[in-house]
Structure 1
Amino acid sequence: MSVKATVLSSLLALSKKIYRSLRHEVCLSWQFISGDISASIVPGLLFMMAAWKTHPTNAVDFLMVLGRGIVYFWLYIVPFCISNQIVGIEEDRINKPHRPLVKGSVSLLGAKVRLVVSMVLFGLVGWWFGVLEWALLWQGCIFLHNLGSGSKHWITKNLFMGVGALAQLAAAWQLVTPITSIAWQWILVVAGVWLFLAAIQDLRDIDGDRAIGRNTFPIAFGETTSRVVLTSGFGLLPFVIHFALMVPAGLTWNVILCDIVLAVISFTIAARIVSFRLPKADHYSYMLFTYWFCSVLVCAIAVI
């Protein structure tokens, strides 16, 4: 075999090895984050579209915007999920046995290495894309929520979810164009919804949270009281969104349609919270909340 053929064969073998490694990392990353796509990547991209619509350019620029968003928000959610699952292995054995650390798809050391690498990459990408302040704010939330025991108490747990939503939406808009006053109005209102209603995600995990000593809202105030409070919150949510976000946009068919869709989702969640009390049903109710999150950002595209 000639030297050239040997070199080509070696390069081909190396390329295949790199491809297999990258494919493995992507698949493993997906296992970590698959349950949180509708609360992270999709909303981020939707709000970027709303920002782009205010200053539309051409199709190539739009595709580049989406490309930046996919990279940024993938790295946004990966370190959160990895760190959350590193500290929650025992809880996940009860609540989420499908997760990679519980299944043995990756070692604890391997997860920690990937956490460090993803945090570094996220910071570098945030700097490169001009949203470093929001990347650092989210990294602070990750550290305090997951590694600093902030998730152990319902006040700090919900607070970091609200601040995280603010960092997410502010970065999404700023990845496209400077944040305007109307953008801030949407960011603060939607982040406030997460702050006050994020406890819906804790209804499905009561047994696991109690087993590890986590004092979530349903554990602190009782499941029945929590369901009443959350049901009331989701019942009032359509009115909050209407007056805070839709009225300023004017009375148009887009606004009316958005009001109707968001109200239907909100009232459905409210009904489910009091009607179904099994963890699986509560999980679906939480997922419906993430779909509401995506829907309100679709409305931003329509009305801003």
Structure 2
Amino acid sequence: MHIPTSLSAIRPPRWLTALLLEIHLYWRFTRYDISATIIPGMLFVLAAWHSDQPNWSALPGLVLWGTFYFWLYCITFCISNQLAGEAEDRRNKPDRPLPSGLISRRGAWLRWIAAMALFTLVGWWLGVLEWTLLWQMTLTLHNLGGFARHYWLKNLSMTLGAIAQLAAAWQMVRPLTPEAWIWLLVPAVTLLSNASLQDLRDIEGDRLSHRHTMPIVFGADATRVFVAVAFALLALLTHFTLFAPAGLNAGLLLLDVLLAGMCLVIAGRVLLLRTTAADHVSYMLYTYWYCFALAAAIVAL
């Protein structure tokens, strides 16, 4: 039997190569935003599933559809955000798909339009169309309508995005309850103040781009004090609104202490560690806090 030795004979088919390249492209678009989009969304899906007589046979479908929905939630934001910020990314983040030449602007626009259309269809199919439309309107105004250039509009957009994210996560499983609203609103409204933490990472870049972020408007020192106080108060807010009403058993008490500790660590880092790299780590810790808070809902609800 003849065994081909040419490398061309063992190359994968073109459709597989194209698919792998597309997956790699989407990964490059979204890799820094997964901890703020897909993971928290799926954690709240699991909280909704676990809250009322868990149906194990329904779980695989919820995980599959939920992951796909929140991937669309993520990719629609990331592509439009990077389309709007390509010039800045050429200076600060040249490894992103557009400045690196991995994709053209026309290709990015086509993928964004297709993703927005598919996102609408999936949102309708899962019964969460109103939250899908809220996020689509919010991300468009944030990325393409100039909201990202003003700190209070930017933080409001992120808050509305979190509400749309978590309300959709719960509603695709079961109707929203008063308890669910409390657990989704507390993490979401923290973005009105605490999201300004991310603006400490790139003050010079924002100034060159003529953005009116909190550190530029009020000064970096004042912003650091404000954010540190906001995180310290957040430890109290989560205790009295989320954990205490649920009853502090051993598991919830451990989560309460963990989340409070993370808030205090972030507050300390913001005041004491004043480098771009340290501020980036502090912001990532905030995204982890957000995920842990939603994971706690699985136990509490």
Report the TM-score range of the alignment, normalised by the length of the smaller protein: over 0.9
- The residue number in structure 2 matching 1:3 is none
Superposition map of 1:23-42 within 5 A? 23-42=20-39
Question: What is the distance in 1 between the residues matched to 2:283 and 2:254?
Answer: 23
Deviations 1:59-92 (A, max 9, x none): 3311111111110000001010111111111222
Residue segments in structure 2 that go unaligned for 5+ positions in a row: 1-11
Which moves more between the two structures, 43-52 or 59-68?
59-68
The answer to whether the aligner puts 1:197 opposite 2:194 as a matched pair is yes
Checking the alignment, whether the CA contact within 8 Å between 1:50 and 1:300 is kept in structure 2 is yes
Checking the alignment, whether the CA contact within 8 Å between 2:152 and 2:192 is kept in structure 1 is no
Q: Which amino acid aligns with 2:259?
A: L
SS of the residue 1:55 aligns to: coil
The answer to whether the aligner puts 1:158 opposite 2:155 as a matched pair is yes
Question: What is the distance in 1 between the residues matched to 2:94 and 2:287?
Answer: 22
- The residue number in structure 2 matching 1:170 is 167
The answer to whether the aligner puts 1:292 opposite 2:289 as a matched pair is yes
The CA deviation at 1:187 is 1.2
TM-score for the superposition, normalised by structure 1: 0.93
Residue segments in structure 1 that go unaligned for 5+ positions in a row: 1-14
SS of the residue 1:214 aligns to: coil
Question: What is the distance in 1 between the residues matched to 2:101 and 2:204?
Answer: 22
Superposition map of 1:90-169 within 5 A? 90-169=87-166
Deviations 1:9-51 (A, max 9, x none): xxxxxx9322222221111111001000000000000011100
Deviations 1:103-162 (A, max 9, x none): 111111111111111111111110111100000000000111001001110110000000
The CA deviation at 1:97 is 2.4
Tell me the number of residue pairs that the alignment of Structure 1 and Structure 2 aligns: 291
Give 4+ residue runs of structure 1 displaced > 4 Å after superposition. Answer: none
Query: Match for 2:185 among 188, 197, 205?
Result: 188
The CA deviation at 1:54 is 1.1
Question: What is the distance in 1 between the residues matched to 2:292 and 2:190?
Answer: 13
Question: What is the distance in 1 between the residues matched to 2:67 and 2:20?
Answer: 17
Question: What is the distance in 2 between the residues matched to 1:38 and 1:56?
Answer: 28
SS of the residue 1:179 aligns to: coil
More helix by share: 1
Checking the alignment, whether the CA contact within 8 Å between 1:45 and 1:69 is kept in structure 2 is yes
Query: Match for 1:86 among 83, 101, 107?
Result: 83
TM-score for the superposition, normalised by structure 2: 0.94
Checking the alignment, whether the CA contact within 8 Å between 1:254 and 1:303 is kept in structure 2 is no
The CA deviation at 1:234 is 0.7
The CA deviation at 1:175 is 1.2
Query: Match for 1:266 among 251, 256, 263?
Result: 263
- The residue number in structure 1 matching 2:9 is none
Checking the alignment, whether the CA contact within 8 Å between 1:83 and 1:115 is kept in structure 2 is yes
- The residue number in structure 2 matching 1:4 is none
Which moves more between the two structures, 54-63 or 71-80?
54-63
Question: What is the distance in 2 between the residues matched to 1:193 and 1:299?
Answer: 16
The CA deviation at 1:275 is 1.5
Checking the alignment, whether the CA contact within 8 Å between 1:44 and 1:73 is kept in structure 2 is yes
Deviations 1:239-262 (A, max 9, x none): 000011111101211221111100
- The residue number in structure 2 matching 1:45 is 42
Question: What is the distance in 2 between the residues matched to 1:241 and 1:98?
Answer: 38
Q: Which amino acid aligns with 1:74?
A: W
Checking the alignment, whether the CA contact within 8 Å between 1:234 and 1:269 is kept in structure 2 is yes
Checking the alignment, whether the CA contact within 8 Å between 1:95 and 1:205 is kept in structure 2 is no
Question: What is the distance in 2 between the residues matched to 1:249 and 1:130?
Answer: 29
SS of the residue 2:98 aligns to: helix
Question: What is the distance in 2 between the residues matched to 1:207 and 1:118?
Answer: 33
